[in-house]
Amino acid sequence: MRVFGKRRWRRASAAGLVTVAAAALLPASTGAAAAAETRVPARYAQQRLSWHTCDGAPSLECATMTVPRDWHRPANGPDLSVSVSRHRAAGPAARRGVLMMAAGGPGGRGLLRPAALAEDSPAVAAAYDIVSFNQRGLPLSTPLRCQTRAEFDAFFGDDARDRSPAAVRATVERSRRLAGACQERSGGLAPYITTDQTVRDMDLFRALLGVRKVAYYGPSYATMIGAYYATDFPHRVDRLVLDSPVGFDGTWQTFLEGQPRSFQRRFERDFLPWLAARDATYHYGRTAAAAKATWEARRRALRDHPADLGNGRRVTPNRLDFGTGQALYDASGGFAPLATALAALDHWDTATPAERGTVQTVFGDYLSPEFLAEYTAVTCNDTPWSRDLDDWVRRTAGYTARYPLVGARALAFSAVCATWPASRAPRVHVTGKGLPTTLMLASRHDPATHYEGALRAHRALRGSRLVTVAGGDHGQYRNGNRCVDELVNRYLLTGAAPAGDVGCPAPEPADG
């Protein structure tokens, strides 16, 4: 989560409803596997997926699935489209089933991700058809529209640390406009962009693939998708891998309140010492404290003199925060480019084309209107939020003072949900009841999905095994960590999970 900031149904019934042995039934109420089940209307259950080669990914097949806007009232409202994909098992004779993936965020796109997993993990690709999808609300599926590009660019402003009354009022007003625009421009779609609706889309996809059970892998927010799916459909889950879990035991508010601290921890305990150890290369200071002081001085300078990237883009204080936060997700892939970009800003007028290109990559873009629309809809709809804006102003002032890297922009996100219409999405209580042993992966200094939330999620999901990774990368599987990859591959291929919780060392960061 990169904010705050990878066939046949048996027909029955001439009345237009289908009950397909136990394979196609959806729970009528979420959070209880034994709840009364509701029948799936035939127009969804009897559809056939028309597969074709995916644009931009020749190893994948894509199709479009039709789903109801509201699974709890499928006769109400227009149908939606969900784009789905699959990578067929490379070893059909040894094929053991379907591995379903979902993307994090909320707001990440999963459609083309099976290609990368198949390339990185050939043994898994030989044993499974790997499938995924773009969630409802995202491009290529029925999209949620909230902002123009210009409105999105203006949403974050230039310096979230400005806590003057005028700046605070402007932040709250921009958040109100975003919440209102999502309702007004979405054609009634916004209330139905929820994790609960997504997992029901997933189970229809499973049924249309003609399988009774799926294995599942999901990173970041996709761990909540997986946990919700497993709670609602435990009898449909074969194996379950949850990588860098969000705190799905509580609410989005309680989980996201922990992110300012976890991003600051990763910045100060991992990146700044790494940067100080390479002072001869980047000249940011020989100690973590000195490197932090240099970074803060650069941020102050950008307030009055943003770095011009061309095409209307500038590196402002907020852009410095955004790029720094994004680089903290992966020490090997992010620390060196971030340090190179920081050093280039210190001599911007004489920076080489290569240095300017790195600065553009690191600081040029942050999220997208499509990502932010999905993110706000899911986080505001899924679970309740406090609507006391005065309290949010006071609380986020504390975040800004103690954890400024992402705490400074907490008001912008929290004010959206504080002004979002009340949601009717059902609550899900994750317990692990009826599930096979689940494998969970988490790192101690993960900035986005903090370890404290992972521990709570681990306790909530009874029977799970937690693999704790040293360091702070976000996303453990296929991250160059042999210890993690061997555990996950063994589990997916044989079902063998560790007897108890285990640890793995961190992958080595690149020197840059």
Q: Which residues are catalytic?
A: 220, 446, 474
3-state secondary structure of 403: coil
Q: What gap in Å lies between CA 190 and CA 152, rounded to an integer?
A: 17
Token representation of residue 276: 């100080």
171 within 8 A of 403, measured Cβ to Cβ: no
144 within 8 A of 374, measured Cβ to Cβ: yes
432 within 8 A of 463, measured Cβ to Cβ: yes
Nearest to 421 by CA among 211, 262, 267, 190: 190
DSSP string, 97-161: EEEEE---TTT---TTHHHHHHHH-HHHHHHEEEEEEPPTBSTTSSB-----HHHHHHHT-S-TT
Burial class (CB in 10 A: 0-12, 13-18, 19+), 213: middle
3-state secondary structure of 65: strand
3-state secondary structure of 401: helix
Give me the count of residues in the chain.
512
Q: Hey, how many other C-beta atoms are within 10 angstroms of the C-beta on 94?
A: 11
Nearest to 429 by CA among 466, 408, 460: 460
Structure-token match 């139905």, residue found: 192
- Is there a cis peptide before residue 106, judged by omega within 30 degrees of 0? yes
Q: What gap in Å lies between CA 255 and CA 239, rounded to an integer?
A: 25
Helix 336-345 to helix 288-304 angle (10° resolution) is 50
Q: What gap in Å lies between CA 323 and CA 319, rounded to an integer?
A: 6
201 within 8 A of 67, measured Cβ to Cβ: yes
507 within 8 A of 480, measured Cβ to Cβ: yes
3-state secondary structure of 67: strand
141 within 8 A of 135, measured Cβ to Cβ: yes
DSSP string, 279-310: HHHH-S-SSHHHHHHHHHHHHHHHHHSPEEEE
Structure-token match 């280039």, residue found: 344
